[in-house]
Amino acid sequence: MGRERLRIPLYTLLVGIVLLGLWQGLVGGAPAGKGLPGPLAVARTASEMLSHPFYDNGPNDKGIGLQLLASLGRLLTGYLAASVVAIVMGVVLGLSPSLYRAVNPYIQVLKPISPLAWMPLFLYTIKDSSAAAMLVIFMSSLWPTLANTAFGVASIRRDYLNVAALLQLSWPRRLVRVVLPAAAPAIVAGLRISIGSAWVAIVAAEMLIGGTGIGYFVWNEWNNLALTSVIFAILAIGVIGVLLDAGLGRLSRRLAYTE
């Protein structure tokens, strides 16, 4: 078992070295200023950007640390609001099959709509680009958590609810002590899907609204033809996405249980 645990990281490192070597080999022969930059050039840019990540020289010249913090702030605001709404609605729908069947057609119509499709309406109605981006996050985070919460609550064994009723627990205590703990694995699975969708959506939304944020940073660097900065920002987006997913994945494993 110990050798297997050691072997997997070694394989991961080996694959990474091979991919970096292929990348450098494919772009190494290109003339300067033409073609994609290689990993060595990206690494030099990354070192420069990480040495001063929080500088602020005006609206269009901020460090990547400030850009990421701005994006994460919008992400958490929209995501937390959507999570609260989705969990409340999911519990209500999960406890009432008739209401769920009545509302489900509307959910199925709204769920496939791209969150970015709502952006023009949000910009027109609230006249605030940052708030509009948060609402895009809200829409992208709502449906996975809502669907998983409703499914988790509807799947609770009726024996649990019957025992709670037999003990004459009030509905708030049933919710806290029976419904939410039993549905917690499904809820967290929905939250984990939602955080990935929200992170993808905020990058795209920021490319449209401008200002501060990692999405706008990528677009601005592309306009400046600073491809090494673009590639490093893409890698940073991926790393942040992995960390967000890993945090909720850890929570999901802690809440998982077997009967």
User: Measuring CA to CA, how many Å separate 240 from each of 1, 61, 106, 147?
Assistant: 30, 21, 33, 25
pTM, full prediction: 0.86
DSSP at 31: P
pLDDT at 225: 85
- At residue 82 the predicted structure's pLDDT band, cuts being 50, 70 and 90, is very high
pLDDT at 145: 94
In a domain, 247, yes or no: yes
In a domain, 86, yes or no: yes
Q: What is the dihedral of CA 50, 137, 122, 147, to 10 degrees?
A: 170
In a domain, 13, yes or no: no
> For position 197, which CATH number holds?
1.10.3720.10
The rounded mean pLDDT for the chain is: 86
In a domain, 184, yes or no: yes
pLDDT at 33: 59
pLDDT in tens, 92-102: 999 888 998 99
In a domain, 34, yes or no: no
In a domain, 6, yes or no: no
pLDDT at 259 over 60: no
Give the chain's domain count.
1
In a domain, 26, yes or no: no
pLDDT in tens, 44-76: 999 999 998 888 887 778 889 999 999 999 999
Which domain does 197 fall in, by range? 39-255
In a domain, 214, yes or no: yes
Tokens 């680009």 — which residue? 129
